[in-house]
């Protein structure tokens, strides 16, 4: 029997490590010795900075403070208040949600579609298609973003050329504020669907074949089988894939950085891009830390929401 490991399930320590026996002091020493390097590294270079980020966000830490940290003063919630009245911040929030809420479901749907196609009983060379569809995922994002920038070229790009076959376009893909984000979403779906597809394939293969055989006898068609067997059996996979995809998509950065620099007219400025610009271009690190923390809260709230929806859906 197989189960999908969700973050909560993984967080519950398994009993396989033998709770029956009491802790021996040698085990104690050995255990801490073995986790020490990882713990120190993660503590010092991840958890400590995350805490530091919260502190940083209530200061006016800027370029003068980089020269001498004593120049930073505590301003409490002023960075947050300033952000809430800053239209660029709200644009970034809107763009980030646009990308995640449209791109996320589109990616998951494409992944599921690809997995269902490959998993179809009549398909041969499954491994070949699986590999091909997975290739975009392993490529370097920066490099393919540059490639896509040329594919999107309004005059010489392939996309407009192909639209021309159908008498459509031309579209100013990355140059038009209305089209820039859809263009980035399209590329992101192309780049990322292969990963979720693998997870869905594994999920599909774990559905017992007897379920389909039984419903074959009942005379259920493929559509009904999909709706009443495949989808419900994939529910845990959906949760895992959905959470992972959305967490990743809320962190949109490299695509707009390389393809549009956040433009045109800020139409592709994401929260992380805003954080990068504030923090590492203008060195307003206090403000940037506040942006980062708001992003964290958004991701946390969204993940909670997905888990709750899943629980109620059952």
Partner 1 sequence: MQNRLGRILIYTLLAIGTAISLLPMLWMISASFMPAGQANSFPPRLLPSDPTLEHYQAMFTRLNLGRYLFNSTLIATTVTALSLIVNSMAGYAFAKLRFRGRDRVFRLLAMGLVIPVQVSMLPLFLLMRQLGLVNTYWGVIIPGLASIFGIFLIRQYTLSLPDDLLDAARMDGASELRIYWSIVLPVIRPILATLAIWTFLSTWNDFMWPLIVLSDDSMFTLPVALANLSGERVQDTELMMAGSVLTVLPVLLVFLFLQRSYVEGITMGSVKG
∠ CA 6-7-8 to the nearest 5 degrees? 90
Lookup: tokens for 145? 């973003």
How much is the CA Rg of the chain, to the nearest whole Å?
A: 24
- Give yes or no for a contact between 212 and 225, defined as CB atoms under 8 angstroms apart: yes
Nearer to partner 1, 78 or 129 (CB): 129
Q: How far is the CB of 84 from partner 1 (least distance, A)?
A: 19
Phi and psi for 122 in degrees, rounded to 5? -80, -10
Q: How far is the CB of 45 from partner 1 (least distance, A)?
A: 5
Nearer to partner 1, 120 or 214 (CB): 120
Secondary structure of residue 74 in the 3-state scheme: strand
Q: How far is the CB of 217 from partner 1 (least distance, A)?
A: 19
Nearer to partner 1, 53 or 310 (CB): 53
Q: How far is the CB of 85 from partner 1 (least distance, A)?
A: 22
**DSSP character string of 240-289:** HHHHHHHHHHTT--HHHHHHTTT-STTTT--HHHHHHIIIIIS--HHHHH
Nearer to partner 1, 103 or 203 (CB): 203
Residue 145 zone, left/alpha/beta (φ > 0; ψ -120 to 50; rest): alpha
Q: How far is the CB of 179 from partner 1 (least distance, A)?
A: 18
């Amino acid at each position: 029997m197989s189960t999908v490991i969700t973050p909560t399930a993984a967080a519950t320590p398994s009993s396989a490590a033998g709770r029956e026996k009491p802790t021996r002091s040698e085990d104690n020493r050995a255990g801490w010795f073995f986790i020490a390097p990882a713990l120190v590294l993660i503590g010092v270079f991840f958890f400590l900075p995350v805490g530091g980020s919260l502190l940083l966000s209530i200061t006016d830490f800027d370029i003068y403070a980089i020269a001498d940290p004593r120049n930073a003063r505590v301003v409490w919630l002023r960075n947050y208040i300033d952000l809430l009245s800053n239209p660029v911040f709200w644009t970034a929030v809107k763009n980030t949600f646009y990308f995640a809420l449209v791109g996320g479901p589109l990616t998951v749907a494409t992944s599921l579609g690809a997995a269902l196609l490959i998993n179809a009983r009549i398909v041969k060379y499954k491994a070949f298609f699986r590999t091909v569809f997975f290739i975009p995922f392993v490529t370097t994002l920066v490099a393919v973003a540059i490639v896509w920038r040329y594919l999107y070229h309004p005059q010489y790009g392939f996309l407009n050329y192909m639209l021309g076959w159908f008498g459509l376009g031309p579209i100013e893909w990355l140059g038009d504020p209305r089209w820039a984000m859809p263009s980035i979403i399209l590329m992101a779906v192309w780049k990322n669907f292969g990963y979720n597809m693998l997870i869905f394939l594994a999920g599909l293969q774990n559905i017992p074949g007897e379920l389909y055989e039984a419903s074959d006898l009942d005379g259920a068609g493929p559509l009904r089988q999909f709706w009443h067997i495949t989808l419900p059996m994939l529910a845990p996979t959906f949760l895992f894939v959905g959470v992972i995809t959305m967490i990743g998509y809320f962190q949109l950065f490299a695509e707009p950085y390389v393809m549009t620099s956040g433009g045109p007219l800020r139409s592709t400025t994401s929260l992380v891009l805003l954080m990068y610009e504030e923090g590492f271009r203008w060195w307003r690190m206090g403000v940037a830390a506040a942006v980062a923390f708001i992003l964290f809260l958004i991701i946390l709230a969204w993940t909670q929401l997905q888990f709750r929806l899943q629980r109620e859906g059952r």
